[in-house]
Structure 1
C-alpha cells in the first residue's frame, strides 16, 4: 500500500496548488482524482487572476435586474424553476451577504489573499517553467450604460483605498487599447494590477507535472471510497489502496457529497456556467480579457481562440446542459466584437462551488481530526488556488500563517 503524509482529494487548480505548497515544505503527498488534473471546474474560466481588491459576485439589488432574473430573462443569471425549492435557503443567505456593509467586510477579509494571489502564482509558474502562460496587462470592464458604471463606483473607490491600480477610460481610450471593440459602450475601466493566463488547463497541468517531477504521486479513484483508519485515511484507487496520515478535501462542487458521508454539512451551492471558443482574425483580436458588465459575460483571448464565458445558472450540478444564456448573449457579443465561427460543436459546462458569503472554506474540518478543507472558491478558484494552498499548508504544519486563517474556516457556518 502506498503511504504518504498527506492525501489530497481533487486535482483542480486548488488541489494541485495545495499539493505543491505541501511538497515545498517537505511533506510526501499523493494527489487523487477521478479524472486527469484540471479537467473539471478548473478548465472553464476566464483565465483572470484577480488583484488586491475585487468585490465578490453578488446578489443583485437593482429592481430592474431583479425583475429580469425573476422572469428568467437575464443573460447574467438563470434558474431552473423546479430547482428553486432546493436552492431557496442558500439564495436568501446570499442576498443577506450582498448587503453593502457585508460586501465591504468580505472585501477586507479577502484582501490578504487577493493582494498576494498573483505573486504566489508567479512563484509556482516560475518553478514549473510555465511563466509563458502569464499576461500582466490587466483586464478591461465595459459599461454600456451610465447607471451601471455609477453603481460600480463605490466598489472602485474601496478598491483604490485597498491598493487597486486602475484607470477610468472613455470610449475612445478603450478602443485605442482594444481596436477590435465596437464603440457601443459609454464607460470603461482598465485594471492594470490584474493578470490573466492564456490556457487555464495548461497552467494546472504544468503545476501537476511539476508536482510529479518532484516525486509526487497522482492516482485515479473515487473520493467516496475514503475511509478513516487507525493510522490515517485510506482511498481505493486504480493503483490499489493508498493511505495518508492526513487528508485534504479539495473537490470543489463534489466536496459536499463526501463530507456528508462524514457527518459534516456546510451550505455549499453550485453555480453552473458555460463557455465556448470562437475563431478570430486580426480584425477581432483581443489583448486583454474584457467584461461586458451590462450583459454579463467575459470574453478572453485563449490559445484555443476567444473564450466567451457566461454568468451563473442555478440547477442541479449534473442536470443536462441548457445553454440558454450563451444563446441570448451571443448577438450582444457579436455587436461588441467580430467573432468568427465557434470552435467547438457543443459549449463546455462546468460548476462553480460557492458559499453564500462568497468566501472559500480553508482550514481544519470541525470534529474530524486529520481532515482538512479547501473548497468553495466560487468564481475565484484560479486566482486563489496557490495562495489558499499556502495558507492551508502553513496552518497544517503549525507555522505562523501569513494572515489570520479564522475568517475562512468552516466554523463560521456552525456558530
Structure 2
C-alpha cells in the first residue's frame, strides 16, 4: 500500500512539512480549521531570524526574573493562575535555561535557522510572491549607554556562528533609519536577517503552491485521531479521513489531539499581541526594528506598521490581557511618528516546549504518527528546516541536520 499522508495544521510549519513531503512524491492532504496562515502564523514580527540563536530561557534570564515577576516590565506578563496550574512545566523551563545547556541549544537553533532566508527565497520565487521578501536586515536598539556592552556581546556570539553584524551609534542609526527619533545611543544592524510584508499572505502563498502542485487542502476542524490497523483515522465534523501517516503540526493545539492517545508532549504556550498603525507624514522604516529595553518589534507591513508585544504567560484561552501592548504602543510612539491605529488588537498563542526547541520526528510507540510543533515565536525562521527534517525522517533519508536535539523522545516516553 502506498503511503498517504495527512498534515494537520496549515501554519508555516505545517505548510512547510506538506511541501517537503510533496516534493518527495507522497500524496499529501493538508487540513486546518481555518485558511492557511490565519492563526499563529499570522501574528508575528515577520522576521526571518538568522540571528535568532539564543532561546528565551537562557542563563541571562535568571538575573531578569525579579524585575519580571511584578508584572511591571513589558517583556513579560505572568498570570499566576497559569503558574499554579503547571508549576512543573515552569520549573522545567527555568531548569533548561542553565548555563551547561546553552551551547548545545544555541547549536540546535543554528541548525534550524542557518538556511532560513535561502529556503524562503526559493519557496517565494516558486510561489510567485518574491515581492513580499525584504532582505534589508533587522536593527536592534538600546535606549541606554549600557546597551553598548550588550551589543558587543551579541556581536561576538553572532560572529562565532558566521553571522556578521555592525554596531551603530546614534548617528549611524539615523543614517540607516532617518525617521526614528534619536533616542537610541546604540544599535546592532544584522544584515543576514530577512523579513516579510505579510506573514499570513506568505503562508497562504506557500499553501497555494502546494495545491498547484497537486496537494489537497481541506478546511475542517479535527475532532479526534485514532489508529485502526494499518491506518490512522481522523474524524472531523463533516467526515472521516484515513491515512497511513499523520503529521501533527497544530502549534499550540497539538497536545489536544495527543493527550487522548496517552501522549504528553510537555507543550505549553506563550501568548502575544500586535497592533497596526499608520505612519506620520513622510515617515517610514525600511526594516524591522527591535527596541530591547521596551520589548517590542516594529515592522513595516502591508497592513501598516505592526507593533508586537512581549510574552504573555496566561492560560491559552484566557481573556485578553492588554497591559503589555498598551505599554509598547506608548514606547513605539516615542521612537517613531506613528499615526492612528488601524483595525483591532490581535492576540495569538505560540507553542513552547521547556527547552525552547521544536519537537520534530516520530512519536514514540505510535507507528505512522509524526510530530512537528513547538517552534515558539520563531516559526518563520525555523519552519522550512522543520519541514525538511520531518520529511527526511519520514522518508528514511539521511537527515539534513542532526535530529537528536528535536527528538520527541526527550519529553515523550
TM-score (norm 1): 0.95
Shift of 1:388: 0.7
In 2, Cα distance between equivalents of 1:123 and 1:97: 35
Query: Are the structure 2 counterparts of residues 102 and 155 from structure 1 closer, same or farther at C-alpha, using a change threshold of 3 Å?
Result: farther
Could you tell me which of 336, 346, 365 is aligned with 1:348? 346
1:31 paired to 2:34: no
In 1, Cα distance between equivalents of 2:153 and 2:123: 34
In 2, Cα distance between equivalents of 1:59 and 1:401: 27
Q: How does 1:9-408 map to 2 (within 5 A)?
A: 9-51=8-50, 54-58=53-57, 61=60, 65-151=64-150, 153-237=152-236, 240-344=239-343, 346-408=344-406
In 1, Cα distance between equivalents of 2:190 and 2:365: 42
SS at match of 1:340: strand
Query: Are the structure 2 counterparts of residues 52 and 337 from structure 1 closer, same or farther at C-alpha, using a change threshold of 3 Å?
Result: closer
In 1, Cα distance between equivalents of 2:401 and 2:190: 25
SS at match of 1:343: strand
Q: Is the 8 A contact 2:13 2:384 kept in 1?
A: yes
Q: Is the 8 A contact 1:55 1:155 kept in 2?
A: no
Shift of 1:225: 2.0
My pick for the range that moved more, 146-155 or 191-200, is 146-155
Q: Is the 8 A contact 2:74 2:310 kept in 1?
A: yes
In 2, Cα distance between equivalents of 1:322 and 1:120: 36
In 1, Cα distance between equivalents of 2:411 and 2:278: 45
Q: What is the RMSD of the two structures over their aligned residues, measured on CA atoms?
A: 1.8
What is the CA deviation profile of residues 230-257 of structure 1, one whole-angstrom value per residue up to 9, with x for unaligned ones? Answer: 2311223466322111000000000011
Query: Are the structure 2 counterparts of residues 156 and 92 from structure 1 closer, same or farther at C-alpha, using a change threshold of 3 Å?
Result: farther
Q: Is the 8 A contact 1:53 1:115 kept in 2?
A: no
Shift of 1:347: 0.5
What is the CA deviation profile of residues 257-308 of structure 1, one whole-angstrom value per residue up to 9, with x for unaligned ones? Answer: 1111111112211100000000124532111100000110100000000000
Q: Which runs of 5+ in 2 are unaligned?
A: none
In 2, Cα distance between equivalents of 1:288 and 1:256: 35
Q: Is the 8 A contact 2:222 2:237 kept in 1?
A: no
In 1, Cα distance between equivalents of 2:144 and 2:102: 23
Number of aligned residue pairs: give it: 412
Q: Is the 8 A contact 2:359 2:374 kept in 1?
A: yes
Q: Which runs of 5+ in 1 are unaligned?
A: none
In 1, Cα distance between equivalents of 2:62 and 2:213: 54
Q: Is the 8 A contact 2:51 2:190 kept in 1?
A: no
What is the CA deviation profile of residues 115-157 of structure 1, one whole-angstrom value per residue up to 9, with x for unaligned ones? Answer: 1122121221111111111000100000112334424543431
Shift of 1:400: 1.1
Query: Are the structure 2 counterparts of residues 101 and 217 from structure 1 closer, same or farther at C-alpha, using a change threshold of 3 Å?
Result: same
In 2, Cα distance between equivalents of 1:122 and 1:333: 30
In 1, Cα distance between equivalents of 2:295 and 2:84: 25
Shift of 1:68: 2.8
In 2, Cα distance between equivalents of 1:71 and 1:106: 29
